[in-house]
Amino acid sequence: MRNFITILCALFPVIFISFAGCRRSAETSLTIAGSTSVQPFAELLAELYMQKHPGVEINVQGGGSSAGIRAVQNRICDIGMSSRPLTPEEQNLQQWTIALDGIVLIVHNQNPVRNITLEQLKDVFSGKIRNWRELGGPDQKITVITREEGSGTRGCFEEIVMHGAHFAADALVQDSNGAVREIVASDPSAIGYISFGLVDERVRALAVNGITPSESTIIAHTYPLARRFLFLTNGEPNALARSFLEFVLSPEGQKTLADEGLIKAVP
Amino acid sequence: MREKFFEKILLLCALSAVTALFLIALFIFYEGLPLIFRIGPANFILSSNWAPTKGHFGILPMIVGSLQVTVLALILGGTLGLACAMFLAEFAPRWSVRILKPLIELLAGIPSVVYGFIGVLVLVPLIRRTLGGPGFSVLAAGIILGIMILPTVIAISLDALNAVPLSYKEGSLAVGATRWQTLYRLTLPAAKSGIIASLILAMGRAIGETMAVIMVAGNALIIPKSPLEPVRTLTSNIALEMGYASGTHQEALFATGVVLFIIVALLNTFALLALRKKV
């Protein structure tokens, strides 16, 4: 019995050591961190890049735009990801726009409301406006759907629309664009927000401040909820980071992003 | 020699299972407790303000939500399950038991995401159209969980009812009691501890269920005042936010796990005590 416990204890360090990754040199490994909105796309691009260049390792981590910007400023990661514009203090970083996206307000197909102002949006999502009548729709309570805390899309929506106001406590919370879309497609009184690339014919996109979300209004940045997905480096990127950036901005990388529903930054 | 060898192998297996469990518990507490002590256990459990990325950690709505959903599931699933077990034990013809019992056990094998999916497609729109509200609600979660705990309630209650010695029942029937009187006055009290254990185990199952609940509960951060309002449970809170959580937010989710762990551990202790108290 005692022997066994000794063996067991002796085994654990061995197991842990075997899990601890061997650190690679800067020439073959790249760390990317930041925006959770950009993360899934960066992961996809990293996978493709690693297939093309065996031996290279790219780690993509989340944490949020601000955390990514801080990490790249402190040289904790090679490339930062951000889905929000840089503040004046952050302008010392080099930035590459890898793709464009818009956050689109969606309602049920039978909903007669076509347009909403940013002010009304804030009131709807903070629970001040509770009935569609106040927006020119039918006399029906509004079912508000938001994303979970920590989601990049939610963070961006908070910045552009909420300005510090809290989401209504009774708002439904869903943890993916797809789930939000499903609920809106089936509930005539629902309103939610999803990424531009995921809008389909089962739901209706609202115009915001009179501007309809479309590829052209997002590229021109006239649509109020347009956002840029940025890659950031601190000074000149090293050879591997540069090679990865070039891949992302190449026709193939851009096509990959467009296939995922984003809008190409390099037409 | 060989005997010894196999004995050791089995011991190793048993130890590794216990070790794994112990390490998981240790890890959850190690990650979650610091935050609970930083903000104070009372603040954590009694505040209703949950905005972890802005430094507010109050999980009262989730605790209340978990309990509401679980109690509703027990009322629905418990009564149905118990009635079903009583029928199978005392009134059902032998051939129907042979068909029904495997069918009920089959219910236990359906993945919870399937229950959730059916809930979203059928139950939620039904509640929205007939009773009002968003449809995603305590009621929807309670009904789905009620169905999910049926196999647990039925199987264990049935065993408890069947364990009552036949001679008791024969004696009761011999002095002129009807079958219903015998069941109600004699068999049920005799099987009480097993039935209570089945309900407590079902309660643990209901409190721990995640996927199906996330899909039909709506996950809003309120303390529901009616069964038609949306609700967020402890488990949904963890599963919903873990994808993007980091830093203190992640700690807060582990702390939610600590609370859940303690609740489930208490429930299981009660279940064991109830089972031990064989009448």
Q: Given this model, what pLDDT does residue A255 score?
A: 94
Nearest 5°: phi and psi at B31? -80, -35
Q: Given this model, what pLDDT does residue B86 score?
A: 94
Residue A66 pLDDT class (50, 70, 90 cuts) = confident
Q: What is the pTM of this model?
A: 0.82
Please answer whether residues A224 and A74 qualify as being in contact, where contact means their C-beta atoms are separated by less than 8 angstroms: no
Q: Given this model, what pLDDT does residue A104 score?
A: 96
- Say if residue A214's pLDDT is above 60: yes
Other residues' Cβ atoms within 10 Å of the Cβ of residue A25: 7
Beta bridge partners of A191: A107, A144
- Say if residue A16's pLDDT is above 60: no
Q: Given this model, what pLDDT does residue A203 score?
A: 96
- Say if residue A230's pLDDT is above 90: yes
The structure tokens listed for A249 are 């901005």
Looking at the complex, report in whole angstroms how far the Cα of residue A29 sits from the nearest Cα belonging to chain B. 23
Q: Given this model, what pLDDT does residue A9 score?
A: 44
Average pLDDT over chain B, rounded to an integer: 91
Q: Are strands B56-57 and B50-51 parallel, antiparallel or unpaired?
A: antiparallel
Instruction: Give kind and range of the element (H or E) at residue B50.
Output: strand B50-51
Which residue in chain B has the smallest CA separation from A149? B241
Could you tell me which residue, A250 or A266, shows the higher pLDDT?
A: A250
Separation between Cα atoms, residue B64 and residue B73, nearest integer Å: 14
> What SS3 class is residue B111?
coil
Structure confidence by residue, pLDDT tens digits, A125-143? 999 999 999 999 999 999 9
Average pLDDT over chain A, rounded to an integer: 88
Q: Calculate the dihedral angle through the C-alpha atoms of A247, A251, A256, A258, rounding to the nearest 10 degrees.
A: 130
Looking at the complex, report in whole angstroms how far the Cα of residue B67 sits from the nearest Cα belonging to chain A. 18
Show which of residues 43-82 on chain B sit within 8 Å of chain A, judged by CB atoms.
50-53
Looking up tokens 């996809």, which residue turns up?
A: A44
Q: Averaged over B41-47, what is the pLDDT?
A: 92
Which residue in chain B has the smallest CA separation from A186? B125
Residue A87 pLDDT class (50, 70, 90 cuts) = confident
Could you tell me which residue, A10 or B175, shows the higher pLDDT?
A: B175
Closest partner CB to B230 (pick from A148, A170, A175) = A170
Looking at the complex, report in whole angstroms how far the Cα of residue B45 sits from the nearest Cα belonging to chain A. 18
Closest partner CB to A169 (pick from B214, B220, B244) = B220
Contact B241 A150 (CB under 8 A): yes
Chain B residues inside the 8 Å CB shell of A125: none
> What SS3 class is residue B259?
helix
Q: Averaged over A148-160, what is the pLDDT?
A: 87
- Say if residue B41's pLDDT is above 50: yes
Mutate which: A173, A182, A191, vs B, most B CBs within 10 A:
A173
Residue B277 pLDDT class (50, 70, 90 cuts) = low
Q: Averaged over A2-14, what is the pLDDT?
A: 47
Closest partner CB to A149 (pick from B11, B12, B52) = B52
Cβ contacts of B215 within 8 Å, gap of 6 or more: B113, B116, B117, B119, B120
Looking at the complex, report in whole angstroms how far the Cα of residue A190 sits from the nearest Cα belonging to chain B. 8
Please answer whether residues B57 and B77 qualify as being in contact, where contact means their C-beta atoms are separated by less than 8 angstroms: no
Chain B residues inside the 8 Å CB shell of A182: 120
- Say if residue B81's pLDDT is above 70: yes
Q: Given this model, what pLDDT does residue B94 score?
A: 86
Q: Averaged over B104-124, what is the pLDDT?
A: 92
The structure tokens listed for A87 are 């503040």
Closest partner CB to A149 (pick from B51, B125, B239) = B51
Looking up tokens 């360090």, which residue turns up?
A: A13
Residue A21 pLDDT class (50, 70, 90 cuts) = very low
Show which of residues 122-161 on chain B sit within 8 Å of chain A, judged by CB atoms.
125, 128, 134-136
Q: Averaged over B7-36, what is the pLDDT?
A: 93
Looking at the complex, report in whole angstroms how far the Cα of residue A168 sits from the nearest Cα belonging to chain B. 9
Burial (CB count <10 Å: 0-12, 13-18, 19+), residue B166: exposed
Please answer whether residues A39 and A153 qualify as being in contact, where contact means their C-beta atoms are separated by less than 8 angstroms: no
Instruction: Inform me whether the C-beta atom of residue A260 falls under 8 Å from chain B C-beta atoms.
Output: no
- Dmax over CA atoms of chain B, in Å, equals 71
Most confident of A81-90, B133-142, B193-202: B133-142
Instruction: Inform me whether the C-beta atom of residue A190 falls under 8 Å from chain B C-beta atoms.
Output: yes
- Taken as a whole, chain B contains a residue count of 279
Looking at the complex, report in whole angstroms how far the Cα of residue A207 sits from the nearest Cα belonging to chain B. 24
Please answer whether residues B185 and B177 qualify as being in contact, where contact means their C-beta atoms are separated by less than 8 angstroms: yes
Residue B278 pLDDT class (50, 70, 90 cuts) = low
Chain A residues inside the 8 Å CB shell of B65: none
Q: Which amino acid is at A163?
A: H
- Say if residue B229's pLDDT is above 90: yes
Chain B residues inside the 8 Å CB shell of A63: 246-247
Please answer whether residues B278 and B56 qualify as being in contact, where contact means their C-beta atoms are separated by less than 8 angstroms: no
Other residues' Cβ atoms within 10 Å of the Cβ of residue A156: 23
Closest partner CB to B230 (pick from A149, A172, A187) = A172
Looking at the complex, report in whole angstroms how far the Cα of residue B232 sits from the nearest Cα belonging to chain A. 9
Please answer whether residues A206 and A115 qualify as being in contact, where contact means their C-beta atoms are separated by less than 8 angstroms: yes
Q: Which amino acid is at B97?
A: V
Q: Averaged over A33-54, what is the pLDDT?
A: 92
Q: Averaged over B225-250, what is the pLDDT?
A: 90
Chain B residues inside the 8 Å CB shell of A1: 11
Q: Averaged over B189-207, what is the pLDDT?
A: 91
> What SS3 class is residue B57?
strand
- Dmax over CA atoms of chain A, in Å, equals 78
Chain B residues inside the 8 Å CB shell of A172: 134, 136, 218-220, 230
Helix axes B248-276, B2-39, angle to 10 degrees: 120
Show which of residues 180-199 on chain B sit within 8 Å of chain A, judged by CB atoms.
none
Q: Which amino acid is at A37?
A: S
Chain B residues inside the 8 Å CB shell of A19: none
Structure confidence by residue, pLDDT tens digits, A97-130? 999 999 999 999 999 999 999 999 999 999 999 9
Residue B140 pLDDT class (50, 70, 90 cuts) = very high
Cβ contacts of A108 within 8 Å, gap of 6 or more: A184, A185, A186, A187, A188, A189, A190, A203, A204
HEC readout, chain A:
CHHHHHHHHHHHHHHHHHHCCCCCCCCCEEEEEECCCCHHHHHHHHHHHHHHCCCCEEEEEEECHHHHHHHHHCCCCCEEEECCCCCHHHCCCEEEEEEEEEEEEEEECCCCCCEECHHHHHHHHCCCCCEHHHHCCCCCECEEEEECCCCHHHHHHHHHHHCCCCCCCCCEEECCHHHHHHHHHHCCCEEEEEEHHHCCCCEEECEECCECCCHHHHHCCCCCCEEEEEEEECCCCCHHHHHHHHHHHCHHHHHHHHHCCCEECCC
